[in-house]
Chains A and B, each alone.
Chain A
Amino acid sequence: MKNEETDNPRRNGEGLENPSRRTLLRGGVAAAGGAALAAGLAARGAGAAISQHADPLITDVQDWNRYPGDGVDARPYGLPSQYEKDVVRRDVPWLTADSKSSVNFTPLHELDGIITPNGLCFERHHGGIAEINPADHRLMINGLVDNELVFTMEDLKRFPRENRVYFLECAANSGMEWRGSQLNGCQFTHGMVHNVMYTGIRVRDLLNEAGVKPEGKWVLAEGADPSLMTRSIPLEKMMDDCMVAFKMNGEALREEQGYPIRLVVPGWEGNMWIKWLRRFEVGDQPWQQREETSKYTDLLADGQARRFTWEMDVKSVITNPSPQAPITHGKGQTVITGLAWSGRGKIARVDVSLDGGRNWQEARIDGPSLDKSVHRFYYDFDWDGSELLIQSRAMDDQGFIQPSKDELRAARGTNSIYHNNGIQTWYIKQDGSAENVEVSS
């Protein structure tokens, strides 16, 4: 699969060097302050506070103190600082056959708060990114309705709008970890999740406009991309809280997120959030489409498979420190932070363990606590520089508790692929570096 690398300028985009086998960790560390790691780890405990010499960064006048920078027109659409160029989505090419039907991952270890910036939301496509002029886009409603209708984008924007923050998680997030710890970085183990504020309209209003017949129980949602992605969704869910969104975080959806419109299915697996949405069909039974039979069904150890496993269960992960984001400052005051979410409600509590799950302390949730949205948690402590096995465990307001990986495997085996919400362990070494491990129960 070596050839994939040279073959794919997408990964080389924006002047970013393609991270090769040994440079990724180095790159990640560099982003976090490579020099700081070398110096910090060597003189751990000394810290910058005991410097003997005046810092020239303070005593000398710097270029940026003196020479005027770009004017207002230089950056009509602002981009992150050049020093943030490594904060990008990344993929793992050997996971899939082709980049047009593949996935990349949100760099969770580089983010804070609860909102994922639009350009960093992970991507999963089945036929590449459809590029659609909104003027050419149509949404059809057909099937068991009084009136089969067609809407233009302009029509859709005349319905009452609402704003909601929801997480979207791929059902296969952490799917590579079923057989044991495998990928060294939360971007890769947990990065198929993002959290965005959507502006859109209620599916309920659209369906009511067409008039659902009494025998209508299911809705097939269909996309306009070359896979014509389809999923069967119960009418009840569609009438409850589903949205047709045209904005994310205030601006138009990104093309890779379904521009001009996508379906929002709060709390349910990402595959159902049909992008480039073009059709709703109302029917009396599910359609048993490819993505709800051969895929997105959960094979159990006894050969049976669960289907229609829609809700994303309660889950959390520590994003810092983690393998791509080691502790670089040595012992002393240290911030552990991470994300928690549940497709069944709000997060009620997050606990953090430093000793592999033997003892737990309650973490502090900060920022908005919203239904079916990610929550940001912090655990501030004084690190003595010894090895740690750090874990987080989330509980939602329905009383569900994030299970251990062993509990999941005992119930399901190791071939489920989807819905792995087990507790993650990072092994923090004395030098502050981190590794993805599993621990005894």
Chain B
Amino acid sequence: MSKYLLKPLAVASLLALAHPLAASAQDADAGEKVFRKCKACHMVGEDAKNRVGPELNNLLGRQAGTVPDFKYSKAMEAKGNDGLVWDDDTLSEYLENPKKYVKGTKMSFAGLRKETEIQDVIAYLKTFSEAAGTPAETESKAEEPAKNDEAAAAAEPVQTAAASDGDVLPKDAEVPDHGVFHLGRKALPDEVEAWNIDIRPDGSGLPVGRGTVAQGEVIYTETCAVCHGVFGEGEGRWPVLAGGQGTLEDDRPEKTIGSYWPYLSTVFDYVRRAMPFGNAHSLSDNGVYSVVAYLLYLNDVVTDEEFELSNENFASIKLPNEENFIADNRLEEPAYAAKEEPCMKECKPGPVEITMRARVLDVTPDSEDDSVGAGAIE
């Protein structure tokens, strides 16, 4: 099976060697789709502004770290000063593994795994770059796509083998003895370990590890602050992580880890599960302990910069608002508890008056009034 599949791909990679340009053909339309991955942070096109990342108009031919009014990492500025200019080659290398190419970059993006995606997104960015020359004229690229195709060829049969036409298992495989329908197979310990990452308030599920407030500050500043703010105050509409203690009864409560969240385990679980946004699962377990320790510090739950959080002391730490969570008691509210036949005639004393009108008459994407929707969807 694998032999059969390898054949056309092998031919393809031979062709790639012979025709480097064909292999690195760039498709701006496909790149527009790839660019969706970038849009959380970057704008391009008319009216593009700096957001979490710099705007990307005229990126091709631009010296790295030079968009006005954007606060780059020191690493990116240094690279630019050393002469890094974005072109096909430098962008390709950067997009493949940003943190490797510019060690210390603020961009918390894992990189694009597929060479075609890299080439396509560059093609797309070229459509917004006046200085962009003819695409892919460099010869050095001949090697790389070919290499990648080989890698793809090696990887492909595995994927295809999984494409079940009913022959994942040999036809004469034994019928499993579990259950009623005898469907599925036993999960292997490594598989369960890979996915079973949830943590509970009692600390069950925690990996062995440790990290200090000071270590967490380094990671947080580099990786988290770009969205959540240097002090956890939240940039734009990204979640606020710190502060807000004593505001839960206010007109505009601020619900943070320190003011609202009931359990520390949720912080650890979620950071390990889904953060940083756009590059989840990139922190080590010790890194997660460090970041969580730093979040405790930002929320004044711990005050000592030397504090070290570990699987041993984790369950002993309580968040201030734990006691304020109660069970669902909606059905005790008068409107529900009554269950009375509702009034049908003259249910209000006199003619009904309008007491309030829609605040946003034209519900539009470009509302200027940024405050109207505060706290609506979280």
Contact = CB atoms under 8 A, between A and B. Distances in A.
A236 interface: no
Contact of B261 (A92, A181, A293, A313): A293
B270 A289 contact: yes
A20 to B, nearest CB: 6
Interface in B234-284: 236-239, 248-249, 251, 253, 255, 257, 260-263, 265-266, 269-270, 273-274, 277-278, 280
Interface stretch (A73-81, A371-379, A397-405): A397-405
A70 interface: no
B356 A180 contact: yes
Nearest to B279: A226
B180 interface: yes
A281 B198 contact: yes
A401 B168 contact: no
10 tightest CB-CB pairs across the interface, nearest first?
A: A356-B352, A209-B179, A403-B335, A97-B237, A135-B163, A436-B358, A303-B248, A148-B187, A438-B356, A149-B184
A180 B265 CA distance: 36
A91 B377 CA distance: 12
B163 A306 contact: no
A93 to B, nearest CB: 5
B184 A181 contact: no
A437 B326 contact: no
Contacts of B168: 152, 154
24 contacts: A4-B366, A6-B46, A6-B48, A19-B364, A99-B39, A101-B277, A135-B162, A148-B186, A149-B178, A158-B183, A181-B358, A205-B180, A210-B184, A227-B274, A278-B195, A285-B200, A285-B202, A305-B260, A400-B336, A401-B342, A403-B336, A427-B357, A439-B354, A440-B355
A367 interface: no
B200 A288 contact: yes
A184 B358 contact: yes
Interface string B349-378: 001111111111111111110101101111
Contacts of B238: 97-98
A308 interface: yes
Contacts of A295: 378
Interface of A: 1-11, 18-22, 24-25, 91-103, 126-128, 133, 135-136, 140-143, 146-156, 158-159, 172, 175-176, 180-185, 188, 205, 208-211, 220, 222, 226-228, 230, 278-279, 281, 283, 285, 287-290, 293-295, 297, 299, 301-310, 313, 323, 351, 355-361, 389, 393, 395, 399-401, 403-404, 407-408, 410-412, 414-415, 417, 419, 427, 435-441
Interface string B281-310: 000000000000000000000000000000
B347 interface: yes
Contacts, number: 351
B159 interface: yes
A176 B265 contact: no
Interface of B is mostly: loop
Nearest to B183: A155
Nearest to B199: A287
Given A24-B364, A359-B346, A287 B183 contact: no
A6 to B, nearest CB: 5
A288 B181 contact: no
Given A155-B184, A304-B326, A417-B378, A227 B357 contact: no
B333 interface: yes
Nearest to B194: A140
B356 A21 contact: no
A293 B248 CA distance: 15
B179 A210 contact: yes
Interface residues of B, number: 106
A147 B179 contact: yes
Contacts of A101: 277
A154 B273 contact: no
Given A135-B164, A295-B378, 15 more contacts: A1-B370, A7-B48, A135-B159, A148-B186, A149-B186, A150-B184, A154-B164, A181-B359, A285-B202, A306-B328, A309-B330, A401-B338, A407-B334, A415-B253, A427-B357
Nearest to B45: A6
Interface in B30-56: 32, 36, 39-40, 43, 45-49, 51
A439 B178 CA distance: 61
A427 B354 contact: yes
A304 B25 CA distance: 59
Contacts of A9: 32
Contacts of A25: 362
Contacts of A103: 377
B255 A294 contact: yes
A24 B362 contact: yes
A1 B227 CA distance: 16
Given A181-B356, A184-B360, A290-B266, A230 B184 contact: no
Nearest to B182: A209
Contacts of A230: 198, 273
A249 B7 CA distance: 41
Nearest to A138: B191
B324 interface: yes
A299 B366 CA distance: 30
B151 interface: no
Contact of B376 (A24, A172, A278): A172
A169 B238 CA distance: 24
Contacts of A159: 181, 183
Given A3-B49, A278-B195, A358 B348 contact: yes
Given A278-B195, A309-B330, A411-B334, A303 B377 contact: no
Given A22-B362, A127-B277, A209-B184, A438 B355 contact: yes
Given A93-B365, A185-B363, A437 B183 contact: no
B237 A96 contact: yes
A151 B183 contact: yes
A211 B40 CA distance: 43
A136 B162 contact: yes
Nearest to A413: B249
